[in-house]
């Protein structure tokens, strides 16, 4: 069993819906949690976001520090041994 609820492949598949803010809250949380932990996917999404911004369809926003901290806390509580 993995510590992540979604895989890199899943994340790439959900990226469009994420950028359109079309994901259910729980899925969005899992998505962002993966981004915090996986630089590869973070950069992938960053590129996608730039593309989206370039065509002017959406105003993508980076993960806010507060949300990032909340995600890190959520992750830590799942893995008490890391503290």
Residues that bind Zn ion (CB under 5 A): 8, 38, 41
- Shortest Å, Cβ 37 to Zn ion: 8
Cβ pair 34, 45 in contact under 8 A: no
Task: Report the distance separating Cα 51 and Cα 21, nearest Å.
Answer: 16
Tell me how crowded residue 73 is: count the other CB atoms within 10 A of its CB.
10
**Whose Cβ is closer to Zn ion: residue 40's or residue 53's?**
40
**Whose Cβ is closer to Zn ion: residue 38's or residue 70's?**
38
Q: What is the DSSP-derived secondary structure letter of residue 38?
A: -
**Whose Cβ is closer to Zn ion: residue 1's or residue 55's?**
1
- Shortest Å, Cβ 27 to Zn ion: 15
């Amino acid at each position: 069993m993995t510590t992540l609820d979604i895989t890199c492949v899943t994340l790439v598949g959900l990226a469009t819906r994420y950028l359109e803010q079309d994901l259910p809250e729980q899925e969005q949380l899992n998505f962002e949690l993966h981004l915090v932990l996986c630089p590869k996917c973070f950069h992938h999404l960053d590129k996608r976001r730039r593309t989206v911004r370039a065509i002017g369809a959406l105003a993508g926003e980076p993960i806010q520090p507060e949300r990032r901290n909340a995600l890190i806390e959520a992750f830590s509580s799942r893995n008490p041994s890391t503290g």
